[in-house]
C-alpha cells in the first residue's frame, strides 16, 4: 500500500495539510470518525523483530500501517537465540511459525556448570499450555528476514525502508495526530503524521530521546564476546551428541538441544545450539586492561579452542556487547508508544529481551487497532504499560541474577556459590519448583484490562490454553477478535466485533472446559488473554462489565 500523502516536506506542522483532517492536524472533539478506509495509517518505526511483528499484527487486524526503518537490510549480527512459548505464540498470531521459512529447535535442559565443569543446576524445559515449547532456539537474522518478507507481501503495509526518524515534533493527543520528522532514502526531510506511532526503534531509540523519556536501571561494566559458529566437525558431533566441551575436569558432552552456562571463574562462557547444526558461544572478556582486541580472529579462535574438544569450528559472526538492565520511565507519551528494546533492555542470560518485545507487540497491537477503529477509548492504551511492566521487571531481575551467578570471577566466592547452589538445588522442594517451571516469572496479568468483580475473576489474566489442541492450532481457529467462549451470542459486545463461539463449534475443547470449571463461559481478549469468566447464567453480567470498559467505549 502506498500513501505518499502521509509524508510532507518539512515545515511547521501547523501549516502542513494532513491526510487526516483540518490543515493543522486537529480533529474537532466529538467529530464523527472518518470511514475506516480513509483513516490515516498507524506508523511503526523500526522493523527489527518487534516492530515487524507489531506491524503484521496491526495489518492482520485490518489496520493500514506505514512501516519504516532506516536500514535497507535486516541486522546481520548475532543477537537472540532463544524464544519462549509466549513469544512463539505472538509470532503465530503474526503469521510466522516453525517450518514456514523459520527454523526452530525445541530446547532441552538449561544447565549451569560450576568450577571444574561440574553441573550445579539443571532446569528442564518448563511445561507450557500455549501450544509452543517453553524454550526454543532460532536464528534472529533468519526470523527478521521472514518477518520482512511477510511485510513486503502484506497489502495493508506501506514499507518505507531507508527512512530515518530524526525527531518528534508533536507526540499527539486525543485531538491531534503525532508528528514525526523523517528523512527519506534520498535525504529529503519531511514530516509524517499518524494517529498512533509504535516506536520500535531499538535500544538507542531516537523517539524515546526526543520525548525526553529516561531509561532507569543499570549497565554492566562487563563485555561479552558473542560468536556464532558452524557445527563442531571432528569431535564426534552427531545428531545424538553435541560438541565436546573442554572443561578443566575433562571433556563433557552436550546434548544437542541443551543450553549451558559455564560459571567458570577462569573465564565464564555460554554455549547453545542453533537450528541447522550451528552454535552460539559467548565469552566474558577480561577487564579492559587485559582485553586486547576481542574481535581479532586469533583471539576468537583461542577462546573457542579452550572450549572445543576437537578442531575449532568456522566462525560465522562475532561481536562484542555490553549488557544493560534498564526500563523506560514512560511507555506512552500522547499517541506514541514505546515497544521492545526502545522500552526496556535486559541482559540476555534469561533469553528474554526479544521475548519481552514480542509480548509488548501482542499486548499493544490489538489495543491500538481498537483505538484506531474507534471501538475503544484511547485510555485503553494506558493499560499497556500497566500490564507489561511487572513481567518485564521480573524477567530482567532473573537475567541480572543469572549474570551475577555466572560472571563470578573470584575462585573462593565461586567455590562457596557452587556449594550453596548444589545443596539448594538438591532439596525436594526446589527440585519440584524447578520441574514445574516455577523459576520462570509467570506472564499471567495481575492488573489491567481484566474483570474486576469477584464472580468474573476466575482465570482472568491467564492466557487461554492452546496445548493439546489438534491442528490447525486453536488460536488459528478462533476469530482474531474478542471471543465469548462457550456462549451462543456476544450480547452488547457483538456490535464491536466480538464473536460468540459455542462449545459445539470447538469439538476438541474438553481440556478447555475442564480448565475453566466451575465457570462455563470465558471472555477472551484478541491477544488470547482471558478477560474474565462466568457461569452460563452470569454471562450477561460478564459481558455488561466488559462493555463498560475502555475497550468498548470509544
Ligand atoms: C548477544 C545478545 C543475545 C541475545 N539473546 C537473546 C535471547 O536469547 N532471547 C531474547 O529474547 N532476546 C535476546 N537478546 C535481545 C534481543 O536481541 C533484542 O531484545 C531484540 O533484538 C530487540 O528487538 P527490537 O525490534 O526491539 O529492536 P532492534 O532489533 O534493535 O530493532 C530496531 C530497529 O529500529 C531501526 N531504527 C533505529 N533507529 C531508527 C530511526 N531513527 N529511524 C528508523 N528506524 C530506526 C533499526 O534499523 C532496527 O531495524 C539478545 C541480545 C544480544 C545483544
The Cα–Cα gap between 297 and 314 comes to 11
The Cα–Cα gap between 122 and 422 comes to 10
Cβ neighbour number for residue 119 with a 10 Å cutoff: 14
pLDDT digits (tens, 9 = 90+) for 317-331: 899 999 999 999 999
DSSP codes of every residue in 31-69: PPPPPGGGSPPEEEE--SHHHHHHHHHHHHTT--EEEEE
Residue 21 φ/ψ, nearest 5 degrees: 180, -140
Ligand 1 center–CA 226 separation, angstroms? 15
pLDDT at 291: 63
pLDDT at 243: 42
Q: Does position 528 have pLDDT exceeding 80, yes or no?
A: yes
Residue 468: which pLDDT band, with cuts at 50, 70 and 90?
low
Q: Does position 16 have pLDDT exceeding 80, yes or no?
A: no
pLDDT at 246: 43
Q: Does position 239 have pLDDT exceeding 90, yes or no?
A: no
353 CB less than 6 Å from ligand 1? yes
The Cα–Cα gap between 51 and 340 comes to 8
Q: What is the mean pLDDT of residues 135-151?
A: 96
**Choice from 57, 73, 79 to test ligand 1 binding pocket (greatest atom count within 8 A of CB):** 79
Residue nearest to atom 30 of ligand 1 (CA): 202
Ligand 1 center–CA 73 separation, angstroms? 14
The ligand 1 atom at the shortest distance from the C-alpha of residue 47 is 49
pLDDT digits (tens, 9 = 90+) for 436-446: 888 899 999 99
206 CB less than 6 Å from ligand 1? yes
Give Cβ neighbours of residue 107 (< 8 Å, ≥ 6 apart). 82, 125, 133, 134, 135, 136, 137, 257, 258, 259
The Cα–Cα gap between 458 and 81 comes to 35
352 CB less than 6 Å from ligand 1? yes
Could you tell me how many residues make up the chain? 554
Ligand 1 center–CA 198 separation, angstroms? 15
The Cα–Cα gap between 459 and 473 comes to 21
**Choice from 201, 275, 346, 399 to test ligand 1 binding pocket (greatest atom count within 8 A of CB):** 201
51 CB less than 6 Å from ligand 1? yes
pLDDT at 15: 25
pLDDT digits (tens, 9 = 90+) for 344-389: 999 999 999 999 999 999 999 999 999 999 999 999 999 999 999 9
The ligand 1 atom at the shortest distance from the C-alpha of residue 52 is 25
Residue nearest to atom 14 of ligand 1 (CA): 80
351 CB less than 6 Å from ligand 1? yes
Residue nearest to atom 53 of ligand 1 (CA): 79
> Which secondary structure element, helix H or strand E, spans residue 387, and what is its range?
helix 382-407
Residue nearest to atom 52 of ligand 1 (CA): 79
Q: What is the mean pLDDT of residues 240-250?
A: 36
Cα distances from 212 to residues 45, 204, 207, 265, 333, in angstroms, run 17, 13, 9, 40, 10
Domains and CATH numbers, the chain: 4-103+138-214+329-394 (3.50.50.60), 104-129+217-326+411-443 (3.30.9.10), 454-552 (3.40.30)
Identify which has the larger pLDDT, 505 or 309. Answer: 505
Among the ranges given (141-150, 207-216, 292-301), the one the predictor scored with the smallest mean pLDDT: 292-301
69 CB less than 6 Å from ligand 1? yes
Q: Does position 70 have pLDDT exceeding 90, yes or no?
A: yes
What percent of the chain lies above the pLDDT cut of 70? 88
Residue 128 φ/ψ, nearest 5 degrees: -135, 160
Q: Does position 461 have pLDDT exceeding 60, yes or no?
A: yes
Q: Does position 199 have pLDDT exceeding 80, yes or no?
A: yes
Amino acid at each position: 500500500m502506498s500513501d505518499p500523502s502521509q509524508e510532507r516536506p518539512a515545515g511547521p506542522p501547523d501549516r502542513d495539510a494532513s491526510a487526516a483532517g483540518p490543515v493543522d492536524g486537529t480533529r474537532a472533539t466529538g467529530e464523527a470518525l472518518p470511514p475506516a478506509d480513509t483513516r490515516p495509517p498507524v506508523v511503526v518505526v523500526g522493523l527489527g523483530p518487534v516492530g515487524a511483528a507489531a506491524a503484521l499484527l496491526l495489518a492482520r487486524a485490518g489496520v493500514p500501517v506505514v512501516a519504516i526503518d532506516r536500514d535497507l537490510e535486516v541486522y546481520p549480527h548475532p543477537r537472540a537465540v532463544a524464544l519462549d512459548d509466549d513469544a512463539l505464540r505472538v509470532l503465530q498470531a503474526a503469521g510466522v511459525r516453525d517450518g514456514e521459512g523459520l527454523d526452530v529447535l525445541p530446547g532441552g535442559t538449561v544447565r549451569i556448570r560450576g568450577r571444574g565443569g561440574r553441573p550445579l543446576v539443571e532446569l528442564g524445559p518448563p511445561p507450557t499450555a500455549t501450544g509452543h515449547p517453553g524454550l526454543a532456539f532460532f536464528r534472529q537474522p533468519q526470523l527478521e528476514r521472514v518477518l520482512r518478507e511477510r511485510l513486503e507481501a502484506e497489502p495493508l503495509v506501506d514499507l518505507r525502508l531507508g527512512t530515518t526518524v530524526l525527531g518528534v515534533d508533536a507526540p499527539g493527543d486525543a485531538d491531534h495526530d503525532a508528528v514525526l520528522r523523517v528523512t527519506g532514502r534520498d535525504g529529503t526531510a519531511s514530516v509524517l503524521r499518524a494517529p498512533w506511532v509504535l516506536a520500535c526503534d531499538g535500544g538507542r531509540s531516537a523517539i524515546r530521546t526526543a520525548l525526553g523519556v529516561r531509561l532507569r536501571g543499570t549497565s554492566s561494566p562487563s563485555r561479552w564476546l558473542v560468536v556464532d559458529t558452524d557445527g563442531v566437525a571432528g569431535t564426534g558431533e552427531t545428531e545424538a551428541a553435541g560438541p565436546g566441551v573442554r572443561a578443566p575436569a575433562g571433556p563433557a558432552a552436550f546434548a544437542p538441544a541443551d543450553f549451558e552456562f559455564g560459571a567458570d571463574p577462569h573465564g565464564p562462557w555460554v554455549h547453545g545450539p542453533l537450528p541447522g547444526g550451528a552454535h552460539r558461544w559467548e565469552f566474558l572478556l577480561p577487564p579492559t586492561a587485559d582485553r586486547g582486541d576481542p574481535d581479532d580472529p586469533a583471539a576468537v579462535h583461542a577462546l573457542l579452542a579452550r572450549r572445543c574438544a576437537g578442531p575449532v569450528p568456522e566462525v560465522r559472526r562475532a561481536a562484542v556487547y555490553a549488557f544493560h538492565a534498564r526500563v523506560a520511565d514512560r511507555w506512552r507519551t500522547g499517541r506514541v508508544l514505546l515497544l521492545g528494546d526502545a522500552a526496556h533492555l535486559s541482559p540476555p542470560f534469561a533469553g528474554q529481551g526479544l521475548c519481552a518485545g514480542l509480548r509488548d507487540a501482542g499486548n499493544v497491537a490489538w489495543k491500538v487497532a481498537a483505538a484506531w477503529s474507534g471501538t475503544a477509548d484511547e485510555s485503553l492504551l494506558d493499560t499497556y504499560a500497566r500490564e507489561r511492566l511487572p513481567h518485564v521487571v521480573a524477567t530482567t531481575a532473573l537475567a541480572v541474577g543469572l549474570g551475577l551467578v555466572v560472571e563470578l570471577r573470584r575462585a573462593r566466592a565461586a567455590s562457596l556459590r557452587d556449594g550453596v547452589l548444589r545443596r539448594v538445588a538438591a532439596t525436594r522442594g526446589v527440585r519440584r519448583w524447578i520441574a514445574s517451571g516455577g523459576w520462570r516469572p509467570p506472564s499471567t496479568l495481575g492488573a489491567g484490562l481484566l474483570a474486576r468483580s469477584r464472580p468474573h475473576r476466575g482465570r482472568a489474566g491467564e492466557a487461554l490454553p492452546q496445548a493439546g489442541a489438534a491442528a490447525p492450532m486453536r488460536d488459528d481457529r478462533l476469530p482474531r477478535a474478542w471471543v465469548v467462549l462457550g456462549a451462543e451470542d456476544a450480547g452488547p459486545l457483538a456490535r464491536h466485533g466480538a464473536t460468540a463461539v459455542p462449545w459445539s463449534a470447538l469439538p476438541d475443547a474438553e481440556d478447555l472446559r475442564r480448565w475453566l470449571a466451575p465457570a462455563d463461559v470465558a471472555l477472551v481478549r484478541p491477544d488470547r488473554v482471558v478477560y474474565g469468566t462466568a457461569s452460563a447464567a452470569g454471562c450477561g453480567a460478564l459481558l455488561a462489565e466488559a462493555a463498560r470498559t475502555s475497550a468498548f467505549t470509544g
